[in-house]
Amino acid sequence: MELNRQPPPTRRFSTGERENAIDRTVPVLPPALEFDEHNYFDHNAPPEYLDGMTKQVQKFLDFHKHNRVVLVTSGGTTVPLENQTVRFIDNFSAGTRGATSAEYFLEQGYAVLFLHRQFSLLPYSRHYSHSTHCFLDYMDERDGSVVVDPKYQEEMLSVLRKYQAARTKNLLLLLPFTTINQYLHTLRAISVIMQPLESRALFYLAAAVSDFFIPPSRIPEHKIQSKGGGNKLVMDLDPVPKFLNRLVEKWAPSAMIISFKLETDPTILIFKAEQALERYSHQLVIGNLLQTRKTEVVFVGPGQNHDWLRLSDEQQADGIEIECMIIPAVVKLHSQWINRR
């Protein structure tokens, strides 16, 4: 037998460079100031649809001017790598937290502005989309007509009634975004329109917002070519300004503001939530871990106050959702906020 004596092909994949793959020397970004706001919004054009969307929001708020209104943000933002976008960076968020929470807010009588990632989960329809069953699995054929399979009738009727009630009473407005830039422009525009609601406005920021993006000055116009740039694609991203500070101080100074903090390392969750609260001076951070986010969360409030909300094993087996504990607790805090003002 003859041995293959040819030299090995040139190595085409990097190995053993995990430490250097991402530059972690970037310092912690301070909260955004007025200058950062102008700098960002002057150089990143608003989405074309923004004027139309703000008119819709204004009409909705005119209708609900005496009610409590919550802005729920939901799903992940994308970071385009090209102006005519073929590729983008995304994250895991399916919008479960936001869509589920919106339903419980509606149950508590709130009008809901649902600022969500397009095609992520929506209140009510979430029960039958993105699930392990195709929606056709809920259907059956009877006498040549399509009907709901009897075993799903009761549950679907209850969801349908709630959905129709929300629609008939004009309690839910769906506002989609895709990119980080669309999200930021829309958040700012809506929060300013919500100002007349004063303390009756609640911000429930459950979206998983990108931390880095490519500014317009550096983004390539066309699809990045795989040939011609060497073997690697090296990206140079700028940090997204931390606008939570602007929201609290300028865009919605009388509203109650709740942000979420997601971590994967349990040992730093509380610390990071406290740090966010201290840095942005808002009212509450709800901490959650990627692994357990559907069964437990921690409320981190001023004065090193931590309250864990957890589903018991029995509740989990019964399909109870953690949002049915989160939202009543949030509503109680919002009532206190309103009464103190």
* Amino acid, single-letter form, for residue 126: R
Q: Is 182 in the site for ligand PMT (CB under 6 A)?
A: no
Chosen residue from 53, 122, 240, 284 binding ligand PMT by CB under 6 A? 240
Chosen residue from 73, 179, 186, 191 binding ligand PMT by CB under 6 A? 73
To ligand PMT, the closest distance from the beta carbon of 312 in angstroms equals 20
Q: Do the beta carbons of residue 149 and residue 90 sit within 8 Å?
A: no
To ligand PMT, the closest distance from the beta carbon of 263 in angstroms equals 7
Q: Is 71 in the site for ligand PMT (CB under 6 A)?
A: no
Nearer to ligand PMT, 57 or 277 (CB): 277
**Three-class SS state of 241:** coil
Q: Is 205 in the site for ligand PMT (CB under 6 A)?
A: yes
Q: What does the chain come to in residues?
A: 341
Instruction: Give me Rg for the CA atoms of the chain.
Output: 23
Q: Which residues pair with 80 in a beta bridge?
A: 88
To ligand PMT, the closest distance from the beta carbon of 90 in angstroms equals 12
How many residues bind ligand PMT, per CB under 6 A?
22
- Both structure tokens of 30: 């301070």
CA 255 to chain CA mean position, Å: 19
Q: Do the beta carbons of residue 280 and residue 31 sit within 8 Å?
A: yes
Nearer to ligand PMT, 162 or 293 (CB): 293
Chosen residue from 71, 173, 175, 206 binding ligand PMT by CB under 6 A? 206
Chosen residue from 175, 189, 193, 209 binding ligand PMT by CB under 6 A? 209
To ligand PMT, the closest distance from the beta carbon of 159 in angstroms equals 18
- Locate tokens 């966010």: which residue? 276
Residues in CB range of 251: below 8 A, 6 or more apart: 187, 188, 191, 192, 195
Residue 144 backbone phi and psi in degrees, to 5: 75, 5
**Interface residues with ligand PMT (CB under 6 A)?**
73, 93-97, 205-209, 211, 240, 242-244, 259-262, 288, 293
